[in-house]
């Protein structure tokens, strides 16, 4: 009665995976890890390749969020080799998604060459795929796949942009952010939370290059659309706008926005943002004091 045996173990695996996902959602990571180990052992025992692949990818993601990059890398590679040996094509979106995770891991480990190679593989594979789709007749299924592929390309560009920004390659980061923003805006709409974050990130990168006048309208638009749409991270957008205004020398406007951002960040319980906003406020205070000192010195010179 192998049919019911296989069915029984599959039901058991599904149950374990559901429990594991719930534990992850609740932040009970060691419990989730234990459940996933049970699930993968069962999957191996019953030679259920789909379950092995799915469980490995969950384990890899779990290791990643726990900051266990080496472990996560091994698990993602195992997932990928199971998929490839099972006949999944190399340019399948699932494979590219894992390649993107690996590129992000290499970026986090400062393995520059591997990270670069990974990002290039992802973007080039997706661009080639979209090129193929362009000439085919657009039925609903291929429309859906095209959208999914474009969004994945946007994700790759966003991830590479952040990596480039961290390694101070701001021109490349600007290019990637512009393209990611265009894709997200076209596929998800201009008021989508992700579109607004990309707008804000692009403005920050322009600002870092001293292009304040170019950055300002971009981040202003993000803030205005975020207010309309009730963006969940509005405090981040406001903080970024305040930063650009600060660099332009508009202290009062920067101060007002930082204060608003701070109360929203506290309400959202976003500790990291609270710290960054407080740093911004300190910077405003410092610059104001410098301005005051300069004015006083100028007045003294005038009196002489």
**Six-digit token string for 45:** 């025992």
Lowest mean pLDDT among 63-67, 165-169, 283-287, 295-299: 295-299
What long-range pairs does 98-101 form, CB within 8 A, spacing at least 24? 98/57, 98/60, 99/125, 100/152, 100/155, 100/156, 100/159, 101/60, 101/61, 101/64, 101/72, 101/76
**pLDDT value of residue 186:** 95
| CB-based contact 180:161 (threshold 8 Å) | yes
Mean pLDDT of 30-35: 92
Lowest mean pLDDT among 121-125, 229-233, 265-269: 229-233
pLDDT in tens, 58-80: 999 999 988 899 999 999 999 99
Q: How far is Cα 240 from Cα 299, in angstroms, rounded to an integer?
A: 34
pLDDT, the chain, mean? 92
Cα–Cα distances in Å, from 176 out to 19, 107, 116, 205, 244?
38, 16, 14, 11, 20
CATH 1.25.40.10 at 11-109, yes or no: yes
Cα–Cα distances in Å, from 203 out to 196, 199, 223, 260?
11, 6, 11, 19
Structure pTM?
0.85
**pLDDT value of residue 36:** 93
Domain definitions of the chain by residue range? 11-109
pLDDT-based confidence at residue 187 (cuts at 50, 70, 90): very high
Residue with tokens 């890890």: 33
Residue 299's Cβ-side half-sphere holds a number of Cα atoms within 13 Å equal to 6
At residue 196, the 3 state secondary structure works out as helix
At residue 92, the 3 state secondary structure works out as coil
**pLDDT value of residue 137:** 66
| CB-based contact 198:184 (threshold 8 Å) | yes
**pLDDT value of residue 1:** 66
Give the DSSP per-residue string, 207-274: HHTT-HHHHHHHHHHHHHHHHHHT-TTHHHHHHHHHHHHHHHT-HHHHHHHHHHHHHHHHHHT-HHHH
Q: How far is Cα 75 from Cα 255, in angstroms, rounded to an integer?
A: 47
pLDDT in tens, 147-185: 999 999 999 999 999 999 999 999 999 999 999 999 999
* Cα–Cα nearest to 118, from 156, 68, 167: 156
Residue with tokens 């304040």: 212
Q: How far is Cα 266 from Cα 255, in angstroms, rounded to an integer?
A: 17
């Amino acid at each position: 009665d192998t049919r019911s045996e296989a069915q029984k173990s599959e039901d058991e695996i599904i149950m374990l995976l559901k429990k594991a996902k719930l534990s992850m959602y609740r932040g009970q990571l060691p419990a989730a890890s234990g459940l996933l180990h049970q699930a993968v052992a069962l999957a191996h025992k019953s030679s259920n390749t789909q379950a092995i692949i799915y469980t490995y990818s969950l384990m890899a993601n779990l290791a990643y969020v726990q900051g266990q990059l080496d472990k996560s890398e091994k698990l993602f590679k195992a997932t990928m080799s199971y998929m490839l040996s099972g006949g999944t094509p190399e340019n399948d979106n699932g494979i590219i998604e894992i390649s993107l995770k690996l590129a992000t891991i290499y970026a986090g480990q400062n393995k520059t060459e591997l990270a670069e190679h990974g990002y290039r593989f992802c973007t080039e594979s997706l661009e080639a795929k979209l090129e193929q789709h362009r000439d085919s007749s657009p039925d609903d299924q291929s429309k859906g796949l095209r959208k999914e592929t474009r969004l994945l390309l946007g994700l790759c560009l966003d991830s590479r942009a952040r990596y480039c920004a961290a390694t101070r390659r701001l021109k490349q980061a600007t290019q990637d952010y512009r393209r990611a923003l265009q894709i997200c805006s076209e596929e998800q709409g201009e008021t989508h939370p992700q579109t607004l974050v990309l707008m804000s990130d692009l403005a920050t990168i322009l600002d870092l290059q001293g292009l304040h006048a170019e950055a300002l309208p971009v981040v202003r638009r993000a803030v205005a659309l975020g207010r309309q749409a009730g963006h969940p991270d509005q405090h981040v957008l406001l903080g970024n706008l305040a930063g650009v205004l600060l660099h332009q020398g508009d202290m009062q406007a920067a101060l007002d926005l930082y204060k608003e951002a701070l109360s929203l960040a506290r309400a959202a319980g976003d500790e990291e943002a609270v710290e960054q906003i407080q740093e911004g406020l300190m910077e405003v205070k410092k610059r104001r004091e410098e301005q005051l000192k300069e004015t006083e010195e100028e007045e003294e010179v005038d009196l002489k």
